[in-house]
Amino acid sequence: MAPAAMRTAAQSLSGAKPVSYWLDDPAGPDALPALTGDEHTDLLVVGGGYSGLWTALIAKERDPERDVVLIEGHEVGWAASGRNGGFCAASLTHGLANGVERWPGEIAKLEELGERNLDAIEAAVARYGIDCEFERTGEIDVATEPHQLEELREWHEEIVKLGITGVDFLDRDALRAEVDSPTFLGGLWDRRGVAMLHPAKLAWGLKRACRELGVRIYEHTRGLDLVRSGEGMAVRTPYGRVFARRVALGTNIFPSLVKRVRPYTVPVYDYALMTEPLTPEQLESIGWKGRQGLGDSANQFHYFRLSADNRILWGGYDAIYPYGGRLSADLDQRPETFLKLAEQFFTCFPQLSGLNFSHAWGGAIDTCSRFTAFFGTAHQGRVAYAAGFTGLGVGSTRFGADVMLDLLSGEETERTRLEMVRSKPMPFPPEPFAWAGIEITKRSLARADSNGGHRNLWLRTMDKLGLGFDS
Segment 250-299, tens digit of pLDDT: 999 999 999 999 999 999 999 999 999 999 999 999 999 999 999 999 88
Q: Please report which confidence band the pLDDT of residue 471 belongs to, taking 50, 70 and 90 as the band edges.
A: very low
Kindly state the average pLDDT of the residues 131-155: 97
Give the closest residue to 240 by CA, choosing from 228, 255, 253, 225.
225
Do 397 and 389 meet the contact criterion of CB atoms below 8 Å apart?
yes
pLDDT at 468 over 70: no
Q: Please report which confidence band the pLDDT of residue 140 belongs to, taking 50, 70 and 90 as the band edges.
A: very high
Element at 242 (helix H, strand E): strand 240-249
Q: What is the distance between the alpha carbons of residues 257 and 244, in angstroms, rounded to a whole number?
A: 15
What are the pLDDT digits (tens) for 431-442? 999 999 889 988
What are the pLDDT digits (tens) for 42-65? 999 999 999 999 999 999 999 999
Kindly state the average pLDDT of the residues 394-399: 98
Q: What pLDDT, on a 0 to 100 scale, did the predictor assign at position 197?
A: 98
Bridge partners (DSSP) listed for residue 363:
270
Q: What is the distance between the alpha carbons of residues 36 and 30, in angstroms, rounded to a whole number?
A: 18
Kindly state the average pLDDT of the residues 302-324: 96
What region does 214 belong to: left with phi over 0, alpha with psi -120 to 50, or beta? Answer: left
Q: What is the distance between the alpha carbons of residues 96 and 160, in angstroms, rounded to a whole number?
A: 12
Q: What pLDDT, on a 0 to 100 scale, did the predictor assign at position 467?
A: 73
What are the pLDDT digits (tens) for 174-216? 999 999 999 999 999 999 999 999 999 999 999 999 999 999 9
pLDDT at 450 over 90: no
Give the closest residue to 146 by CA, choosing from 167, 175, 181, 172.
172
What are the pLDDT digits (tens) for 4-45? 666 789 999 999 999 999 999 998 999 999 999 999 999 999
Q: Please report which confidence band the pLDDT of residue 92 belongs to, taking 50, 70 and 90 as the band edges.
A: very high
pLDDT at 117 over 90: yes
DSSP per-residue codes, 187-220: EEEESSSEEE--HHHHHHHHHHHHHHTT-EEESS
In sequence order, the 6+-apart residues with CB closer than 8 A to the CB of 450 are: none
Q: What is the distance between the alpha carbons of residues 48 and 217, in angstroms, rounded to a whole number?
A: 9
Measure Cα distances from 440 to 406, 444, 449 in Å. Answer: 39, 6, 14
Burial class (CB in 10 A: 0-12, 13-18, 19+), 461: exposed
Q: What percent of the chain has pLDDT over 90?
A: 89
